Amino acid sequence: MKKKRKSALLEFTAKGIYCAQAKVYLDPWRGVDKAIISHGHADHARWGSKHYITQEHNVPILQARLGDLHYEGKAYGDPFTINGVKFSFHPAGHVPGSSQIRVEYKGEVWVFTGDYKVQEDGISTPFEPVRCHTFITECTFGLPVFQWAPPASVHEQINSWWAKNSATKTTSLLMGYSLGKAQRLLKHLDPSIGKIFTHGATEKMTQVLRQYIDFPATELITRETTKKDIEGHLVLAPPAVMGSSWAKKLGQHATGYASGWMAFRGARRRRAVDKAFVLSDHADWQGLLSAIKATGCENVITTHGYTELFAQYLNEQGWNARTEKTQYEAETLEAEVVES
């Protein structure tokens, strides 16, 4: 008789990361019966599944983005069992409500990170290392060249840029992802400089997060808003507005763009922004390595970003690392445009 091969606790299938024992998918990219979701970004939380289980703060985010579907919210660290498999959510520090998903069966532990960062951002529950045997990690910025400055210094740069523009009555158009980055920027803007206006997409997500996070006041830009109203003030918007007719209506303005990719000079040129701020919601090179070490894992699976190079480096350092293909996007400039 042929010996039945023991299947892995999590497998990479055409629909997403699958736990056969529990019959659930983690961040599936096709519609499934039961989906466990790491966070609200479009490449991780997709429409079309029958039942979604996610961290409780991510429920209102999914509701706003995917509509009225069947959601179940869990607190961080609160385990639940499906057919003998124990699952729990642990802070990923990426955006509010973002989680690493811990999966345990018969003493074997896997952790799927979704997206994560180890720097604190002032709005997301800080990243928490989770011990495991196998760690499925993103590596969007998995090259040694990526090394983030302390966030406080970046926020200082942003406020002084705004103050300088304000002094000459120039409007500041500050761009960043509508979920996570925009609110992280907002949280650290200095309202004593002026008013903070928002694009509709940014305002929508900010309203959702106001349910559990305190932010400075914002004012939505409408058809009635005039150039005079916003002169010298700051406008928060998604990167997709760059060069659009919406942006032209703002009148004379300076553009600022906050992204990890702004560490690349070529990326700044391509986007033709006046001011680039290097601020990422993903771990940098050292952040990735420290997170992996803290898990005490033997096996690492890289899913999106500089996957091959990063896995190769980990193998050289003694881990058993490999790459799996997924449909998660590695925060490219193009993805940012689509996201918003």
In the chain, which ranges are E strands?
11-12, 17-19, 24-26, 34-37, 51-55, 71-74, 80-82, 85-91, 99-105, 108-112, 134-139, 171-175, 196-198, 219-220, 234-237, 253-258, 275-277, 299-305, 320-323
Q: Which is nearer to Zn ion, 9 or 36 (CB)?
A: 36
115 forms part of the interface with Zn ion (CB under 5 A): yes
Binding window for Zn ion (CB under 5 A); candidates: 17-25, 114-122, 182-190, 272-280: 114-122
138 forms part of the interface with Zn ion (CB under 5 A): no
Q: At what angle do helices 59-66 and 200-209 cross, to 10 degrees?
A: 150
- Map residues 12-41 to x or -, x wherever contact with Zn ion holds by CB under 5 A: -----------------------------x
Q: Which is nearer to Zn ion, 170 or 259 (CB)?
A: 259
Contacts of 40 (CB under 8 A, 6+ apart): 58, 61, 62, 65, 95, 97, 98, 179
Q: Measuring CA to CA, which residue among 12, 10, 15, 36 is closest to residue 104? A: 10
Binding window for Zn ion (CB under 5 A); candidates: 46-54, 111-119, 132-140, 189-197: 111-119
Least distance in angstroms from the C-beta of 98 to Zn ion: 7
In DSSP notation, 110-162 reads: EEE-SS--SS--SSSPPP-----SEEEEEETT-STT--PPPHHHHHHHHHHHH
Binding window for Zn ion (CB under 5 A); candidates: 29-37, 115-123, 132-140, 187-195: 115-123
Q: Which is nearer to Zn ion, 115 or 203 (CB)?
A: 115
Q: How many residues make contact with Zn ion (CB under 5 A)?
A: 2
102 forms part of the interface with Zn ion (CB under 5 A): no
Least distance in angstroms from the C-beta of 44 to Zn ion: 6
Q: Whose structure tokens read 């033997």?
A: 298
Least distance in angstroms from the C-beta of 181 to Zn ion: 10
Q: Which is nearer to Zn ion, 115 or 336 (CB)?
A: 115
181 forms part of the interface with Zn ion (CB under 5 A): no
CA distance 73 to 81: 14
Q: Containing H/E element for 200?
A: helix 200-209
**Residue 276 Cα distances to 108, 125, 142, 144, 318, angstroms:** 44, 26, 21, 20, 37
Evaluate whether 55 touches 99 at the Cβ level (below 8 Å): yes
199 forms part of the interface with Zn ion (CB under 5 A): no
Question: Which amino acid is present at 338?
Answer: V
336 forms part of the interface with Zn ion (CB under 5 A): no
339 forms part of the interface with Zn ion (CB under 5 A): no
Q: Which is nearer to Zn ion, 41 or 102 (CB)?
A: 41
121 forms part of the interface with Zn ion (CB under 5 A): no
268 forms part of the interface with Zn ion (CB under 5 A): no
Residues between 278 and 297 with contacts to Zn ion, criterion CB under 5 A: none
Least distance in angstroms from the C-beta of 114 to Zn ion: 7
Least distance in angstroms from the C-beta of 335 to Zn ion: 10
By three-state DSSP, how is residue 42 classified? coil
Least distance in angstroms from the C-beta of 236 to Zn ion: 19
Least distance in angstroms from the C-beta of 213 to Zn ion: 17
Q: Which is nearer to Zn ion, 43 or 203 (CB)?
A: 43
Query: Where along the sequence are the contacts to Zn ion (CB under 5 A)?
Result: 41, 115
